[in-house]
Structure 1
């Protein structure tokens, strides 16, 4: 079972898919270089959307965990904690994700033994996320970062698998703190 945050990520990633479909309409497989350059803006848009979707997922799963782990605290206190932590994430880099989850007593989540999968070591996961965040920052702040369609799709696959792993790690932590499996 997945968290509501993971379900919402799936919905958000449909925007990425829609942008990539629009890119394929503008730039079919047999298109020449001018069409490929025209389609590049859509790939860059999809990359920004992908990074934003992952950031939203991280914020949502953190906030859900805060509400479950600190259910005995007042809603105002939980809201204040979220505002000062996930509310100021502003990018889901490896460092910032680690720092965020320290607040839940879940240190170094991005180095967790489950943040890896076949042919993707933990170091490769972190490197891939770093490249996505760097590309997003360059694009969003006016840089001329070029991203290929296969790279963008690889990043999407990494985000999906990473979210699945984080969902499990957070669920295990919430269960260890509360005695109840949240999702």
Structure 2
């Protein structure tokens, strides 16, 4: 398992680079320089979502719905696997409930990311005219939650790693 973790993490990094490439070269310019929904750490309002959807070109929307959707799914699975493997490996020797907490955090991040992607996909399909305020509120909530959970996972893994090293 210790040999597998760096490979999974490297694959997650490669997927992140691919997603960054599409975001930088297609989504960002295709929306007049506005950040894609998935990158808005602090979320977004219904007005901001509508403004983004109005500015989004048809080509950028198509990339968001196809390439970014599949890359996002692969990234969620691969990074989630890396978080789970890292948590499992670094929490060895701890009480079962403590190990479970670390694993739960990784699974919660995966769930928040999946929910965010579903909701963003629905917003993209509906477009700016049929956009629903509740849909935007939920999507924004899961976007923020995704980033919070990822930060918590990162801090937890770093703490486990430091304890394993004796520091």
TM-score by length of structure 2 reads 0.45
Q: Which has the higher helix share?
A: 2
TM normalised by structure 1 equals 0.42
